[in-house]
Amino acid sequence: MNIAGVILAGGLGTRMGHTKKALLDIGGETIIERLLAVYRPIFPEIVIAAREPGDFEEHNLPVALDRFEARSSLTGIHAGLDAINATHGFFAACDAPFLQPGLIERLLAQVTPEDDVVIPLKEDGYREPLCAVYSKRCLEHIAAQLEREDFKIIRFFEHVRVKEVPVSQLQDGDPQFLSFYNVNRPEELERAREMAAELGL
C-alpha cells in the first residue's frame, strides 16, 4: 500500500486563545516536532496541511494550503489529499502530542486498495476521524460538501467505502490510547505537560 502521512496544522486554536497548537511546547518539543518524529520512520511521503506555510519552512516538507476559505478539519483533509502523490493518506491533527507509531502501524495494516476510509471505532460508537486513513477517491465528495459549507467530516462517508476498525484491534500498539489525547484547551495543555513528565513521553 502506498500511504502518505498528513499532519493537519491549519486550525485557529480558538479554545487555546488563538494559539497555533502545532507550535506548542510539550516536554521540550513542539507538537509538530513530536508528530514528525513518529511519521518519518513510517511514511515515505509527508505533507503538512496548513493555512500559512511560513510556520513550517524549517521542516523542509511540502505544505498543502487550504483551497477553501473556511477553516475546518475537513478543509485540511481536502488540501492534504489533493497534495499527496500516494493513493491514500493517514491524517492526524496537530493537537495530538502523544500519537503512537504502534497504533498507526496497526491501522495501516487494515487498509486495502479498495478502502476509502479506514477509521478507529471506539467502544462507545465514536469514530476517530482525525486519526484515520482517507483515499484520494474521497476528494470529489469532500469538495462537494465543502461547497455546501458543511464541515462535519463523517457526512461524506455514505458516498465512499468505509472500514471501521474496533480500537480493541489497535490497543496492543497503544495500550493506554495515548494517541487519542487531544490538547484543545489550556488545562489540557497543562495536563499534557504533566503526562510527558510523568510517563517520559
Q: Taking residues 60-88, report their average pLDDT.
A: 93
pLDDT tens across 58-68, in order? 999 999 998 88
Residue 14 confidence (pLDDT)? 57
CATH code for position 60: 3.90.550.10
Please tell me which residue, 66 or 196, carries the higher pLDDT value: 196
Residue 16 confidence (pLDDT)? 64
Mean pLDDT of the chain, nearest integer: 94
Residue 28 confidence (pLDDT)? 95
Total domains in the chain come to 1
**If you write DSSP's letter for every residue of 43-96 in order, what string do you get?**
-SSEEEEES-GGGGGGG---EEEPSSSS--HHHHHHHHHHH-SSSEEEEEETT-
Cell of residue 14, nine digits: 480558538
pLDDT tens across 1-30, in order? 899 999 999 765 555 656 789 999 999 999
pLDDT tens across 122-172, in order? 999 999 999 999 999 999 999 999 999 999 999 999 999 999 999 999 999
Residue 70 confidence (pLDDT)? 80
Q: Which domain holds residue 123?
A: 3-199
Cell of residue 166, nine digits: 474496533
pTM (2 d.p.) = 0.95
Residue 28, CA distances (Å) to 22, 47, 98, 201 in order: 13, 23, 13, 10
Angle at 93 (CA atoms; ends 110, 196), nearest 5 degrees: 100
| pLDDT greater than 90 at residue 34 | yes
Residue 77 confidence (pLDDT)? 97
pLDDT tens across 164-193, in order? 999 999 999 999 999 999 999 999 999 999
pLDDT bracket for residue 54 (50, 70, 90): confident
